[in-house]
Structures are given as structure tokens and as C-alpha cells.
Structure 1
Amino acid sequence: MGYVTAHNDALLDGQSLRSQLAQTLPDYMVPSVVMVLDSLPLTPNGKLDRRALPEPEHAVAEAHIEARNDVERTLLSIWHGVLGRTDHGVTENFFELGGDSILSLQIVARARQAGLKLGARQVFEHPTVEGLARVARAAHGETRRAEIRTPLPLTPIQQMFFERFPHGESHWNQTVLLSVTGALDVAALEQVLAAQVDAHDALRLRFSRDEEGRWHQQVTERETQPVLALFDLRGHADWKAELEAQCARLQGGLDIERGPLIRAGYFTLENEARLLLTVHHLAVDGVSWRVLLEELRQGIERAARGEPVNWLASTPWSAWVESQAQYAQRDAVKQEAKWWRESLQAASVAWTEAHEKMTGKTEPVLLKLDPIRTRELLQDVPGTSRMSVEEVLLASLARTLGESYGPNGVLISLEGHGREIPDDALATELDLSRTVGWFTTRYPVWLKRSDDTGAILRETKSRIRAVPHRGLHFGLLREELKDLPQPQVSFNYLGQFDQSIGGDNRFAFAGEPHGESMAHTGESPYVLDLNALVAGGELTLAWDYDATRLDAEQVEHLVVRFDKNLSALVAHCLNAAPTVTATDFDIDISQQELDQFLEQLSD
């Protein structure tokens, strides 16, 4: 919020002033609203009386500035689709509206489809439609990098997989079961799936060992194994049991050495259908699923209209693997090891000894927020507190685990989408917003415990945002940093999936059992493994756990405490006066220096 007075009775317009500021200042320094006052209220000693400044109630409507040119109109329409809301204009902050780093990739991808070229970093640097419109460029004449079909090294996350499964586990998938209203044209479905496999080289990967037993990956020119299987379940007395059995068979039929790494099953029912898509995790991640589901929906629609089923060319996975291997050798990457050692010097682990080994698979404990609470967390909290959904969830987790297991704090392994490219030249060359593959990065963060609600929110936010390049380099430095304490808790916020299947109600996520996505082989490296996502307007947090360290009753108690703590943190974000941290500003300033500066302003 900005306040201004006129000099010598000059005529001022708040919206025009704000537009002029946006031409010279970075977006985070431009007030969302500028109010023109006759005079600034003063205290008896002549200082600014901040408490007497008018509330910006009448200016809120002015903040919803509509698009003023074609680029802004295009971007605003994209924002509406990605965010799933239309109650904003071109000046509101993407992340305060509920956006996150994963959704920012969809902004980039959809902008490119609309003929505009943006980088993922630009969404963070210019988080308004107005700001992005100034830096967007026409996307034309771009040359796609060629696929590389020679053997390639593993990425850090793939290395972690083979360290856990040295034999090369083929049943370790990510799977989606969709309900389909009516029936799909099978020929169109086959055409779309074939086009996706052809467009995304990660879906044609094969893995093999060299003479020294080291695993490598290699892209094949075409997929020779069948992808789609058809099933007619009409008339089955127990179609759900048959659906589960056939889905389980498909999921168990992937083969990382001989292929395929993707299978699909189309199940015809009475007046509806089910579509199973399963991909080995070595070739897919959460962002990739958004790409695949959006392509599936668009492809079916295009095929129904008799249009070609194709998409804008994306950077091949194999090109990224080669570039990342070269990037890892840079001095800037290696020098970051010092930061990681300093940031984790106080870290410790909570569990030291396992109980007697238990057999059998444990079912995760689920926490589900209703649509009202989910909407508060997604849309209201970021706008009032400048905190992301992930940061609030992590603050609740740090407090919850600290109450029982970590008096000083908790060491957590976080996941990032892994598509950040710090190098400007490389980022210009490689657009990863629509590339399919397992890009995930893992990195540790030590979160301090605090019983003060405001303090733990600020501390968590500062810790998360201080991580350089969102943890991208940690995996590249794993060998050098392997002596550091290893997290026993894993947390992954997968983001919002509802927008991935569109709003036409043709597809929806189905709830029937569809077999196990992963074989029960290999012990989990984590005592607690938490995965959160939003689907159907509700946030679900699944708590998987190691039964040698925790039992179901203990985990259920943690979930109850987490839910209570989360409610308290959300209430604080919505009701407390907004506060800022040093990480809110793209300048070199410590939290202590910022606090001193703000204290001087209040005097």
C-alpha cells in the first residue's frame, strides 16, 4: 500500500502513479494500490502517524485493473485457468493469489502455447500479469534440441533410486486412474498416446548396466512394446474387482530394461469408462503428469474435431541430462558445498534405534482438509501473510515433531521440481516447462522449533527461502556432502492437480482401487514420508511411516497434533498484522538489519 500527496495542488492519479513506478522498480517494490491524500496525518511531534492512515477499503476495487493490451489479456486468461479463479486483475501477485513454483511452470508452458516466451525465473522476478507482459517476448523460430540416443549417466534422483534398488526395480510407478463421462473414441486415444510417446523421449527410456555394473539410461528411437490395453467390463457382476485386478496387472508389467515404461488401460463401463495411466517413476514426476494430462485432454478434443494431434516441441529429457552433467562441473556448483555445511551444522536426528522388525505393509494415515480450509490455505493465507502453502505446512510439521521428538528442531528432506536453471544462457536455450522426466531434487533443511506462532512462521519461511537455487545443487554435491546428517523425515508438496484435467467435467480423478503402484521391496530411507496434494478442491496429506520406529497409534497422534497446529498457524496468518522477513526482498540485507530499519520507521 502506498500513500502520496500532491505538491502545489498538482493533479495526481494513483493508478497512473503506480504504472509509472512499475516502469522503473522491481515488482516486489511496487505498491499494489496507491492512494492520493490531501495531506499525510502527523503526530503532535510532527512525525508520520501511521495509525491514522486511511484503510484502503475503497481502493481495493481499483486494484483489480483489467488487461490493457493483447499481451496482458493473453496472460490474464492463462492466470485465470492456472489459478482456477478470476477475481483479480493485472497487478495482483501470482504467489499471493495461491500460485506456487509448480503452477509457475504451467504459466510458462501455456504462455508458450499462446506464442509468448517466458522463463520460470521471470515469474518469480515479475509475479504480476503487468510485470510479465513487459518482459514477454514472441516465441517464434525456436530450434528444438535433438534427442540424444547414446548411453547417458543417471541424474542425482535416479542415482538415489538405484542405490535403494541396486537390482533395478521395474514395479515402482506413478499411476493415475481417471473416470470418463461417456465413451472415448479408442482410435483417437491410441493416436494421442502414440503422439505423447513420440514427443517425450523419457517415455522411451531403457536402463542397462555396463561391464562394471553401473546403471545407465538410453533413449530408443521408437517404442516397440504395446502401450494401450482395452477391457470391456460391461455386464461384469463385480466390475470393480476386475478393474483392480487388470490395473494391477498393467502396473506390474513395466520393464525398465526392455520396456515399456508406460502402459494405459481403457475400461468400458455402462455409460462411462475408466482410463488408467501408469508410468515408471524413473521417467515421470508431478510436473510431468500435469503435462501429460493436459496433452491427453487437448489431444482427445483435437482428434474429435479431426485436427492433427501434436504439440509444441519441448526440450528432450536426454538433452537436459547431458547439459546437467556438464553443468555439475562448474565452480559455482562446487563452491555451494560450504553453504550446505554451515546451514546444517546444528542439525541432528530424532530417532536412533529401531524396534524389532515388523513385516507387512503399513497403510498411510491420511489427513484431509475440507474445501473451506483448503481454500483458506491456498488463496487467503498467501495474500495476507506472504507465505506459501508449503511453508505453512512445514511450519506446522516442525512444531508438531518438535513437541515430541526434536526439542531444538527437525531435519527434513524436501523435494523440489528441479526445473530451475540458474544459468541465464542455459535457461534461454532449454525450456523445461513441458519436458517429461524425473526432474525431482531432494535437499535437507533444518527447521528450528519455536512455541511462538509468529516466530515459527517467520523462521520456517526464512529457512526455506534462504536455500540457494531451491536445492538444485545439493544432489550434484551428494558425494561430497554424504557425511552430513541424513534426514529421517521427508516432505513433498505436489501442488494442485485439479486444473490439469480441465474444467469440462469429461475427466475426473477416480476413486476405485487400482492395484499397487510400487512393489513392497526395499526399506524406506525415512521414518516419516509425507506427501501432500490438492485434488477435488481438498488438500490431502498422506503420512507413510516406518513401522520399526513408529506404530499407527503414534502416527495418528502426530496427525491430530499437526491438524491442530495447522489451524492455529492459519488463524494467525489470517488475523495477525502482516510481517515481512529479509527474504521478501531481493536485496542483501539480514533479518537483524531489516528489523532495525523497520523499528526506526516506527519511531
Structure 2
Amino acid sequence: MYGITETTVFVTYKEIHDIDIELNISNIGTTIPTLSGYVLDQNQQLVPIGIIGELYVGGLGVGRGYLNKEELTRQKFIENPFAKGERLYRSGDLVRILANGDMQYEGRIDEQVKIRGFRIELGEIESVILSLPKVKEVALLVKEDALQQKSIFAYVITRSSVTVAYFRNALSSILPEYMIPSSFIELKTMPLTVNGKIDKKALYSLGTNITDTGVEYAAPTNEIEEKLVLIWQKILEKQEIGIKDNFFHLGGDSIKSIQIASRLIQEGYSINIQDIMKYPTIETLSKCVVKHTVSVNQDQIEQEINLSPIQSWFFENNTSQYSHFNQSIILKSNAPVSEEAVRAALQMIVRHHDALRIVFKKSDEGWMQENKGDESHYFFESKTINNEEYDAYCDEFQSTINLEKGPLFKAALLRKDESDYLLFACHHLVVDGVSWRIILEDFSTLYNQYLNNIELKLPLKTNSYAEWVDDLLQFSNSSVIEKQENYWLDIKSKGDFAQKLPLDKETKISRFEDTEVCSVQLNANMTDLLITKCNTVYNTSIDDVLITALSFALNDVFNITKTTLNLEGHGREPIHNNIDITRTVGWFTTLYPTYIALKHPENNINQLIEVKETLHRIPNKGVGFGILKYVLKSIKMDSPQITYNYLGTFGNEINDQKGENNFEYSNQYKGQIVSPNMIRHSLLDVSGLIANGKLTIDIGYDKNQFFEETIEKLITSYKKHLEKLVLDLSSNQEKELTPVDLTYNKLSMEQLKKLQESLFNNN
């Protein structure tokens, strides 16, 4: 019998026969004589036989309503549209009438969802998935995707190993495309409630970090492939990566390639970073892996060092306030922090990473840097602090670094509001975004070693910052740099045609104390599309997509179609194969101009190709520009008005060996990381960063130059164009080459298309 409390328990009855058991359907029979049943659609109209609808119950057993719940009573107990004076109860149960008049139960209406305009029964999809021979159990969830639209996620327990391709191929012959789940997550056990039902709330916390590349899984076939799989899974935070999966489709980028090369060295092998970008599958990349035989001096560096191009830029543009220009990170601990473990970890880190012991000296000839040998050359203190003291403490913490005396690396353990925080600060002259990943990973490793009474140990040192600077200065005398000069002179001449940003207000001097930041964030699903799906079609990078969207936003708000951007890169581009800086701390950043023209304002895909063609032709990712301007001094060029910097993904550096977080990134105030009196060098500072699975875009500006509403319009337009571009690219499955992808890359896009058409017609 089938029953509902609101209709005095029993509603239908059914005599069960062997055939009913064999059919394995939920046949609930027909209504008992004192009740009536109606199967209605969403407009409360009767549905035909075989069509799913909601069961409404009428008759003598229908209750009067809910006690003291008038609104709920009005929703659930309605007038019978087919019998005047009677009332119906809306059961919320979905059924269909069979040919013999019986009703078949199909699930609850709250399990009915609307996907892309189609009303879908999750129970129906579950039944189909369960019919697949390799599936043992399944549960479906509906989550919002990139634009708050609903997508279906299938959590499955299988009888044998399967791939996403298996599910898609099997289901496509049974279900329409809109009913096929967008993601399949394989579980070993299904979470259950105390009542033995599937705990769907618990499923939400399991995440969706599966490998969904559309490529059938291929297992590693040798030791090197096995090591690469494990390293990729750690760095890319994915499960079940196969040797045919594409590095870029899994969210890889140039910064992650550095991390992969570093991890591989720890396993006794080495690889060129260019090879990771050139051969994006483990199957092809593994052939480039060789035994690591390069010997690097493990002693502490104590010597004077010339300035790198980016350090020269800093001193050239800052004649005062130079001691207060930091990068900073604050972590929140998930458990009480051991002060002794922190001290032990910090001392080991400063001993290991030579650049953290650098100080700077000024003479009549200019600035030099000196690597000290003192392993205690850092600052650390532990402090219990209240909310009233906190901001002032952080401001002082950031402002008291002395560039000439040191130390330039600081940390503080702050106990506040019954939580423990670790505040790190370091002068930007000796650290960058990649360096922080290295420092935080090492800190997590050492901290856990101390807590577990394991000998404190880090991987072998890579080449020092001092060795890299010397190598860069030697490279400045090469024919490669000489050949690049014409490229940068061409960029300079194009920059003469760039349009100036129109200011809302004029100010003589722009200082950091007048800086405001406007931010916007993409949700997790949109971010995942950005780093995995959307760059496969045209072989683009995240920078290509972000800068394309920015070019549209600048046109929307400022009516600018020609602009120069000051691009920041990680700067760890390979110069000589015998220099390994994959685990070296220092400021390696490149800063170089590029000219972006909005040639296709009505077509975001064509504009993306235009931007890609521009960015992918920049020689050595801009390394040569810094050498030409600050070492050889053969190019003089004003800095562009807009600076752009994509910092990549932060996240798993603070996981322990089991992948669990001892610490998490916090948005707590860190203090003023740059002197309020320091001069700003750009009108707009555009930056992007992925943390906790979400992309955040910041636009910094001077409040005395731009109204807040102007920048809000800009960042809103930026997000709109970015989301549209990501979705347009992610929905396209066909891959297409552009001229820069070819060995002979001097064709235009139009010439390439004509060539492709000609080859197609001839074939």
C-alpha cells in the first residue's frame, strides 16, 4: 500500500504478483474506494496515460490542513478544479498512469529539475544509469554551473573501472543530450544517513575534482609515466589522470609546469619546462625525461650580486620609500599552532633559500645586493592580540623592514579570536609569486615533519638567484638579444598610436595611499571552465582569454580600441639548459609592453585569435625587453598606463603529504604592504588570481583620478565579456589552428583559412 499522513495514511493498494517483481517497477496500484487520485501537470491539467505528473488526492480521507501553518495549508490543500466544493491534497509525488489503470511511482517532485529549459526527472536518469552493467550504485545531484545554471552531477559506484567516455557513449543511445550528467564522480562507498538513505548533503562536500577530458583513460606503462601521473595529480589537483590527458585541458599553465619540473627533480629526473608546454600529454612528455645529473652547489651563498632587470626597474622608479614594498600572505590554522615547529621550519627555510638572506647597499655607483650567510637572518614573533590592536600591529609589521640592514623576511604567529594566524611578509625585491609557492610548500613540509618527530629535510637546492643573475648578464651579450631588439622597437612605435585613458579627475602625483581596489569573482564552475575547457579549441592560454575580455571592457567604458599593456610574467623562462631555478626563491619577474588593438569588436572569437597571435609572438616571454632596457640601455620607452598580471593558482602548497590542509588562505587584513607615500606607476593595475577554486580579478586605481562608478562599470563589463567568452569557447568542440601554431608562422589568419580551404577542396 502507498500512503500519505495528510490523507489519513492509506491512498492506494496493489496486489503484488511474480510479474510485478520481475518488472522491478514501483507500481503503487489504484486508489482505495473512499479516495480519488488525479495526475496533473504544472498547470493542474490532467496528463495523458504514460506521462509523468504530480499525484493530487481527493475524497473522504483528505485532512483539513496543518495546525497553525496557514501558508503551507494554502499551498498544499487546494480546491478541486474537477469537482466543486471538494478539496485536493498535493502529494508532491510524481507518478504515471499505466495502461491497466495502475499508477507507477517515479519519485518526488523536488527531485524534478529544469535543465536548459527541459523538465527532468532525476529518478528516471538514475534508473537508466543503474541499468548499465558496470554500475552498482548511483546518486544524482543538481548544482549550479558557471552562470548559475543547473547541471547534473552523477556520483557512482562501479563494478569495474570505467571512463567518462564509457558513460557518455552508453547513455547517448538511451537519453537525450540534456539528460546526460555533465560530470561523473566515482566513489568507493556511498555516504549514508543514520536511516540508511543516501546522504546527499555529504555528497556536496566530496568535490568534483575528476578527470573529465573526453579522453579514454590510459594507464601508465612504465616507471617514468607513473611518476609523471602522480606529480600531475598532485600539482593539478585531479584524480585518475591518464597518459593521454592533455596538460592544458587539465588546467595546466606555465607556473604549474615549473612546479612539475621541480617535483620531477626530487624524484631523480629532469625535464625542460619548454617540453612540458610542447608535449602536453604524459605519453609524449615521458620521452623527454632524463636522469637528473646536474650537480648544484648546496653551500650557503655569501657574495655580492648584480641587480637583475626587474630590480633595476624598481630602483629606477623609486628614489625614496624603497624599504616598504612587500608581498604578504596570511594563513589561518585549522588547529592550535606549535610555535616551536614554526621557528624550526623558518630557520630551515632561511638557511636553504639564499635570497631570503639578501640585503641591499647603496653607493655612488648605485645599488648592489649582498647575500648574507647568517641563517638566523629573519624576524619572527608570537603574539596574542585583540581586534582593537590588530590593524595597527599589521601596519607596523609591514612598515619596519629595513632594506639595507635586513632582515627582509618576516613572520608572526598571531593568536586572535580563539584562532591562530600566520602572517608572512617579505620585501618584493627578493620574492615573487612562484617563490611564495615554494616557501609555503617547504613550510608545510617542515612544519609537519617537526610535529611528527621526523628529521627536518628539504629537497636539494637548485641554482641560486646569484647564479641566475650572472647567467642573465651573459645572455645579454648573445646574438639572441641582438635579434630581439627590432621586435621591441616595433612595439614602441605601435605604442605611439595607443589611446590614452580618459581621467575623471586630474591629479599631479598619484600615491599608493590613494589606491582603491575594485574586485569581481568568477564562481568555481566558471573558473574550472576557464582553466580546463575553454583553451582547447584555439590552443589559447588563460592570458589570451583574460586580455581579450579586457580589450572589450576598455572599449565599452573608455571607447578605447588601441592600447599598450605592461605585462608581468613569472620570468623563469629557460635561457641555458644548465641553469635550474625551479625551486629557487627570488624576484624573477619580467615586465614588458605589448600593443593590443580591438580589431573585431563584434566577434569575440576573432578578437581572441588576434590577441593570441600577438601574445604568442612575444620573444622569450619578454625576458629580452628587461635586458635591453635596464642592462644594455639600448631602448627607452615610457611605461604603459595599464599593468596586467595573472598570478596563477594558489592552493595545494599548504597541504600536508596526505593532501589535508593544516592551514588555509585567509582574507584577514595584512597591513599596508606598500608605503602609502610610494608613487604609483600605472593608472590601472589589473590582476587575476585563482584561490579556493575561484578566479578573483582586481583593478587598482587612484581615487583622485577615477570615480568609483567608472571602475565598477569597467570590472562589470570585464566579467560579462569574460564569462561570455569562456562559455562560447567551452561549448565548441572543434579544434582550430591559428598561424602562430605553425612551423612557418608568417601567414595571416585569412591566408591560413584560404590554404585550408584549398587543401580541403583538393582532397
Q: What is the TM-score with the length of structure 1 in the denominator?
A: 0.84
- Counterpart in the other structure of 1:591: 748
CA 1:80–1:240: 2 relative to 1, 3 Å: farther
Q: Indicate whether 1:522 and 2:672 are aligned.
A: no
CA deviations over 1:30-54 (Å, ceiling 9, x no partner): xxx9xxxxxxxxxxxxxxxxxxxxx
The correspondence of residues 42-121 of structure 1 with structure 2, limited to 5 A, is 63-86=216-239, 88-121=241-274
Q: State the 1:385 CA deviation.
A: 4.1
- Counterpart in the other structure of 1:537: 693
User: SS of the counterpart of 1:336?
Assistant: helix
- Counterpart in the other structure of 2:650: 497
**Contact residue 119 and residue 431 of structure 1 kept, 8 A:** no
1:351 aligned to 501, 509, 522, which one? 501
- Counterpart in the other structure of 1:8: none
**Contact residue 258 and residue 273 of structure 2 kept, 8 A:** yes
Q: Indicate whether 1:318 and 2:318 are aligned.
A: no
**Contact residue 526 and residue 546 of structure 1 kept, 8 A:** no
In structure 2, how many angstroms separate the alpha carbons of the residues matched to 1:95 and 1:112? 21
2:591 aligned to 433, 442, 466, which one? 442
- Counterpart in the other structure of 1:334: 482
CA 1:193–1:145: 2 relative to 1, 3 Å: closer
In structure 2, how many angstroms separate the alpha carbons of the residues matched to 1:62 and 1:496? 24
Question: Aligned partner of 1:602: which letter?
Answer: F
CA 1:510–1:190: 2 relative to 1, 3 Å: same
1:173 aligned to 322, 326, 348, which one? 326
**Contact residue 213 and residue 245 of structure 2 kept, 8 A:** no
Q: State the 1:88 CA deviation.
A: 3.4
CA deviations over 1:479-512 (Å, ceiling 9, x no partner): 5464445311000000000122224121101122
- Counterpart in the other structure of 2:368: 216
**Contact residue 108 and residue 119 of structure 1 kept, 8 A:** yes
User: SS of the counterpart of 1:383?
Assistant: coil
- Counterpart in the other structure of 1:411: 564
In structure 1, how many angstroms separate the alpha carbons of the residues matched to 2:304 and 2:646? 32
1:554 aligned to 710, 729, 733, which one? 710
- Counterpart in the other structure of 2:74: none
Question: Aligned partner of 1:128: which letter?
Answer: T
Q: State the 1:529 CA deviation.
A: 0.5
Farther-moved stretch of structure 1 (131-140 vs 430-439): 131-140
Question: Aligned partner of 2:616: which letter?
Answer: R
- Counterpart in the other structure of 1:133: 286
Farther-moved stretch of structure 1 (433-442 vs 501-510): 501-510
Q: Indicate whether 1:400 and 2:518 are aligned.
A: no
**Contact residue 147 and residue 319 of structure 1 kept, 8 A:** no
**Contact residue 432 and residue 588 of structure 2 kept, 8 A:** yes
Q: State the 1:128 CA deviation.
A: 1.4
Q: State the 1:248 CA deviation.
A: 2.5
In structure 2, how many angstroms separate the alpha carbons of the residues matched to 1:78 and 1:60? 18
Radius of gyration: which is bigger? 2
Q: Indicate whether 1:303 and 2:455 are aligned.
A: no
Q: State the 1:80 CA deviation.
A: 0.9
- Counterpart in the other structure of 2:625: 474
In structure 1, how many angstroms separate the alpha carbons of the residues matched to 2:519 and 2:560? 25
CA deviations over 1:367-414 (Å, ceiling 9, x no partner): 111112111211221234422222101000112113344644221111
Q: State the 1:261 CA deviation.
A: 0.4
Q: Indicate whether 1:362 and 2:515 are aligned.
A: yes
- Counterpart in the other structure of 1:374: 527
- Counterpart in the other structure of 2:614: 463
Q: State the 1:140 CA deviation.
A: 4.6
CA 1:62–1:352: 2 relative to 1, 3 Å: closer
CA 1:226–1:501: 2 relative to 1, 3 Å: closer
In structure 1, how many angstroms separate the alpha carbons of the residues matched to 2:432 and 2:518? 23
CA 1:168–1:326: 2 relative to 1, 3 Å: farther
**Contact residue 330 and residue 421 of structure 2 kept, 8 A:** yes
- Counterpart in the other structure of 1:29: none
In structure 2, how many angstroms separate the alpha carbons of the residues matched to 1:551 and 1:478? 34
Q: State the 1:141 CA deviation.
A: 6.3
CA 1:226–1:316: 2 relative to 1, 3 Å: closer
Q: State the 1:558 CA deviation.
A: 0.7
CA 1:406–1:525: 2 relative to 1, 3 Å: farther
Q: State the 1:134 CA deviation.
A: 1.2
CA deviations over 1:80-132 (Å, ceiling 9, x no partner): 11111125311122122211111111111111112221121221122211122
CA deviations over 1:408-432 (Å, ceiling 9, x no partner): 422111111111123xxx22x2111
Question: Aligned partner of 1:434: which letter?
Answer: R
User: SS of the counterpart of 1:430?
Assistant: coil
User: SS of the counterpart of 2:583?
Assistant: coil
Question: Aligned partner of 2:585: which letter?
Answer: V
In structure 2, how many angstroms separate the alpha carbons of the residues matched to 1:156 and 1:579? 37
CA 1:87–1:581: 2 relative to 1, 3 Å: farther
In structure 1, how many angstroms separate the alpha carbons of the residues matched to 2:640 and 2:347? 40
**Contact residue 183 and residue 268 of structure 1 kept, 8 A:** no
Q: State the 1:316 CA deviation.
A: 1.1
- Counterpart in the other structure of 1:184: 337
In structure 1, how many angstroms separate the alpha carbons of the residues matched to 2:293 and 2:487? 40
Question: Aligned partner of 1:309: which letter?
Answer: L
Q: State the 1:243 CA deviation.
A: 3.5
**Contact residue 174 and residue 280 of structure 1 kept, 8 A:** yes
1:204 aligned to 343, 354, 357, which one? 357
Residue identity over aligned pairs, in percent, reads: 28
Question: Aligned partner of 2:342: which letter?
Answer: L
User: SS of the counterpart of 1:436?
Assistant: coil
1:155 aligned to 284, 289, 308, which one? 308
CA deviations over 1:187-227 (Å, ceiling 9, x no partner): 22111101111111110111111234x11111011145552
The correspondence of residues 550-589 of structure 1 with structure 2, limited to 5 A, is 550-576=706-732, 577-589=734-746
**Contact residue 183 and residue 271 of structure 1 kept, 8 A:** no
Q: State the 1:270 CA deviation.
A: 6.8
Q: What is the TM-score with the length of structure 2 in the denominator?
A: 0.67
1:454 aligned to 581, 587, 605, which one? 605
- Counterpart in the other structure of 2:382: 230
User: SS of the counterpart of 1:315?
Assistant: coil
CA 1:568–1:331: 2 relative to 1, 3 Å: same
Between structures 1 and 2, the one with greater strand share: 2
Question: Aligned partner of 2:594: which letter?
Answer: V
CA 1:523–1:71: 2 relative to 1, 3 Å: same
Q: State the 1:344 CA deviation.
A: 4.3
In structure 1, how many angstroms separate the alpha carbons of the residues matched to 2:428 and 2:232? 29
Farther-moved stretch of structure 1 (143-152 vs 492-501): 143-152
CA deviations over 1:420-457 (Å, ceiling 9, x no partner): 123xxx22x21111100000001111111021211111
**Contact residue 240 and residue 512 of structure 1 kept, 8 A:** no
CA 1:317–1:60: 2 relative to 1, 3 Å: closer
User: SS of the counterpart of 1:364?
Assistant: strand
Aligned residues: 536
Q: State the 1:148 CA deviation.
A: 5.1
**Contact residue 243 and residue 514 of structure 1 kept, 8 A:** no
User: SS of the counterpart of 1:466?
Assistant: coil
In structure 2, how many angstroms separate the alpha carbons of the residues matched to 1:131 and 1:84? 21
Q: State the 1:334 CA deviation.
A: 2.4
